[in-house]
A = this chain, B = another copy of it.
Amino acid sequence: MSLTPRLLNLNLFIYPGGHHEAAWRYHESAPDRLLDLTYYQELARRAEAAKFDAIFLADGPSLPDNIRYASRFRLEPFTWLSGLAAATERIGLIATASTTYLEPYNLARLFASLDHLSRGRAGWNIVTTGAPQAARNFGLDEHPPHAERYARAREYLDVVTKLWDSWEDDALLIDQGGGVFADTERIHPVDHSGRLLRVQGPLNIPRSPQGRPVYVQAGSSQDGRSFAARYAEAVFTAHQTTGNAREFYSDIKARVKAEGRDPDQLKVLPGISPFIGSTEAEARRLHDEFNELTQPEYSLRQLRQMLGVDLSGHDLDAPFPRDLVPADGEREVNSRFQVVLDIVDRERPTIRELLHRLAGARGHWVTVGTPEQIADRIEEWFVGGAADGFNVMPPYLTGGFDTFVEHVVPILRARGLFRTEYTGTTLRDHFGLPRPTSQYGPKALV
């Protein structure tokens, strides 16, 4: 057992404008700066000053069909995080990238480069891409079904891990006098020829500071959980109640153990979107103000995407018609589908109430209160076996994050729950994860 106290891991999850769907309409937001790198650099520097573990960027290779009502374009994570790497020194940089729509050799190069240029701060949020419209941007008629995407993801992980291992750490000799730049005995072809992928390798970039990016995973379906148990070093997950979060936490840690891995080597990080006020009433007023900025046209489309039910034309103040939700196989394996149904079953909301409930963070935990109350809830989840830390999803930027840093973080620190200084330089250091040795290295053969 470790002698150092267990500390929260906190990421800043950046969405252009913020996570609330109406963030860009809020008077304190800066929607004219959403494509300005310096805006995100300022945010990243503040997160680093607050000693956050990482910046987290979502992604998907298609345009969401609701761009009319919300700032839902996609910052390309590799370019954007490279620009943030150049403005920071310590904070981790987690890029979402798809095993379905990016070639493994290209993905391996992008992450190796991000890890080099950031000196060991890259993390990979591994997704198989949920949005079916992506398929038609890549010459496919149909988005591959969930199970097929996960089958490819497993093989893909084996391939890119081999690519990142293909240069042993000491392959780079740089012997100027002897004229040997790299020891080719320590650079290995990958020679992968599997059911779905064929990649010869080796990678054309020397092994990076962390060996590989930190493996993060963000689906909580059954397939997603098995996958995470085997590969992930951090899991980003959506829960609305401590009970559900605790259940997930126990399940995923047990699965990790069953894979023969140390459960401490997988960090469980639920999303949290906090509305903060100096009094509870003030926090509620802020939350109400955001609700009033929402647009039913947008919110109903979002709901249709999550549940497969189109409620346009319905009376928004009538009870949510639970019976209209289709029992659709593909949707039921999607973990967010279940999160929304749980809200419906627990709270029996009107349609409008449900739309407001989901407007903050697309099914992630939205919590409204004073800094003390927010800190209490974070502590409850953290010590109560529901979380190792959080992906912080500010409802609006930069203000929603500034308030969290200025008012909640000091309380967490005073309680000894969050670091006051970085103790290492890489994302693996921040997460307390070991640096993997190359599977081709001499140590790996012992």
Q: Does A174 contact B (CB under 8 A)?
A: yes
Asked if A41 CB lies within 8 Å of chain B CBs, one says yes
Choose one: B83, B114, B139, B174; the contact of A199 (CB below 8 Å): B139
A102 CA to B78 CA, complexed, in Å: 15
How far, in whole Å, are A86 and B86 apart by their CA atoms in the complex?
A: 6
Q: Which of A6-14, A178-186, A263-271 contacts B (4 or more CB under 8 A)?
A: A178-186
**Nearest CB of chain B from residue A271's CB, rounded to whole Å:** 22
* Segment of A60-68, A319-327, A329-337 in the binding face: A60-68
Q: Give the docked Cα–Cα distance between A103 and B82 (Å).
A: 21
Cβ-defined contact, A182 with B68, below 8 A? yes
Number of copies: 2
- Let me know if B181 and A103 touch, CB within 8 A: no
In the complex, the answer to whether B200 meets A86 with C-beta atoms within 8 Å is no
Q: Are A181 and B110 interface neighbours, CB within 8 A?
A: no
A79 on interface, CB distance cutoff 8 Å: yes
* Interface presence of A304 (CB below 8 A): no
A138 and B105 contact, CB distance less than 8 A: yes
Identify the closest chain B residue to A77 (Cβ): B113
Known: A25-B179, A80-B113, A176-B24. A206 touches B137 (CB 8 A): no
A278 smallest CB distance to B (angstroms): 26
Tell me the A35-83 residues at the B interface (CB within 8 Å).
35, 37, 41, 60-64, 67-76, 78-80, 82-83
A64 cross-chain contacts in B, Cβ below 8 A: 204
Instruction: Determine if A25 and B184 form an interchain contact, defined as CB atoms under 8 angstroms apart.
Output: no
Complex contacts, A114 vs chain B, CB 8 Å: 79
A35 to chain B: which residues have CB within 8 Å?
116, 206
Confirm or deny: A344 has a beta carbon within 8 angstroms of a beta carbon on chain B: no
23 chain-A/chain-B pairs, Cβ below 8 angstroms: A25-B176, A25-B179, A31-B174, A31-B176, A37-B85, A61-B106, A63-B201, A64-B204, A69-B180, A73-B206, A74-B109, A76-B109, A78-B79, A78-B82, A80-B117, A83-B117, A86-B86, A86-B87, A101-B106, A136-B198, A136-B200, A137-B199, A179-B293
